[in-house]
Amino acid sequence: MSTKIAEIFDSMSYGPAPEQSDYVTDWLARHEGGFDLFIDGQWQAPEGTRNSLESRNPATGDLLASIAIAGPADIDKAVAAAKKAYPKWSGLSGHERARHLYALARLIQKNSRFLAVLESMDNGKPIRESRDIDIPLVARHFYHHAGWAQLMEQDLPIMSLWAWWGRSFRGISLC
């Protein structure tokens, strides 16, 4: 994107658009159109027969990616990994947890154009909705929860924050 503004005015052609899909398409091609399961901090092929979900661009019908579907053994591995990670995560202070969540929010913001184009290609919605609403809302959710994590160790006037929420840890959830 080294086109100079004067050159664009001279040729009266369109300049490069920040929402071009070329870089997203190239990124998908580098992953050979497929994604395995992310378990215990690494990408892993599913156990046994590989079942996958195809993600297609609804505007063109083009295959964007093939996404692995977890089977029972994969779910067991994911639960075991979460149980292994839980003591370390639960041992972090609220401030330390907030630092991780804030970092995720900033990473989402830094890559928001890329994520917006990818989201629009995946579900067919206008780029304006992905760019101006969906992706900023994702970052905002991380900022929101980071703020609560920072307050986790402070006491409210009468009761602790956990008592105020009325919740306790119930276990691992898979999405």
pLDDT in tens, 150-162: 887 775 444 455 5
> 81-91 in b/e burial notation, b at 16+ Cβ within 10 A?
bbeeeeeeeee
74, 40 contact by CB (below 8 A): no
Domain with 21 in it? 12-86
Domain ends where: 63, 86, 109? 86
Distance CA 46, CA 50 (A): 6
Residues 102 and 63 in one domain: no
Distance CA 147, CA 140 (A): 11
44, 37 contact by CB (below 8 A): yes
Residue 175's pLDDT band (cuts 50, 70, 90) = low
pLDDT in tens, 129-150: 999 999 999 999 999 999 988 8
Residues 112 and 156 in one domain: yes
Residue for token digits 């901090």?
41
pLDDT in tens, 52-81: 999 999 999 999 999 999 999 999 999 999
Distance CA 64, CA 61 (A): 9
